[in-house]
Amino acid sequence: MVRNARAAGAAAAIVYTDAKDFGGAGAKGKRKWFPDARWLPPTGVQVGTLYYGNGDPTTPLWPSCAAGEDCERLSQGELDGSAAMPSIPALPVSARDGETILKAMGGDAAPTEWQGGEGAPMYRLGPGPAVLNLTYIGNDTLATIENVFAVIEGKEEPDRYVIIGNHRDAWTFGAVDPNSGTAAMLEIAERLSKLEKKGWRPRRTIIVCSWDAEEFALIGSTEWVEDNMDMLASRAIAYLNVDITVFGPGGFRPRATPQLDQLIKEASKMVQDPDDPSQTLYDTMIRHHPPIDRVAGAGTDFAAFLQYIGVPSLDMSYGTMASVWGLIALRLADDEILPLNYVSYASELEKCTKLVEGGCTGCPVSFAPLHKSIDQLRKAANKIHKEKMRDLNLSMSNPNFKSQVKERTRSRGSTQGGCDRQARTVAFGSDDRRACTMVATDGWMLAAADGS
Is 72 one of the annotated active-site residues of the chain?
Answer: no
Helix residue spans in 341-413 (DSSP H): 343-358, 368-397, 401-411
Annotate 60-115 with DSSP letters as a single string.
TTS----TTS------HHHHHT-TTS--S-EEEE-HHHHHHHHHTB-BSBPPGGG-
Catalytic residue among 214, 215, 223, 226: 214
CA gap 354, 10 in Å, rounded: 40
Would you say 401 and 395 are in contact if contact means Cβ atoms under 8 Å apart? yes
Would you say 229 and 441 are in contact if contact means Cβ atoms under 8 Å apart? no
Residues contacting residue 28 through CB under 8 Å, at least 6 positions apart = 19, 117, 118, 119, 120
Would you say 310 and 257 are in contact if contact means Cβ atoms under 8 Å apart? no
Count the helix, strand and coil residues of the chain and give each as a percent rounded to the nearest 5: 40, 15, 45
- Asked if residue 369 has a cis previous peptide bond (ω within 30° of 0), the answer is no
* Nearest partner of 166 among 54, 301, 56, 256, judged by Cα: 301
CA gap 172, 283 in Å, rounded: 34
CA gap 333, 156 in Å, rounded: 10
Active-site residue set: 214
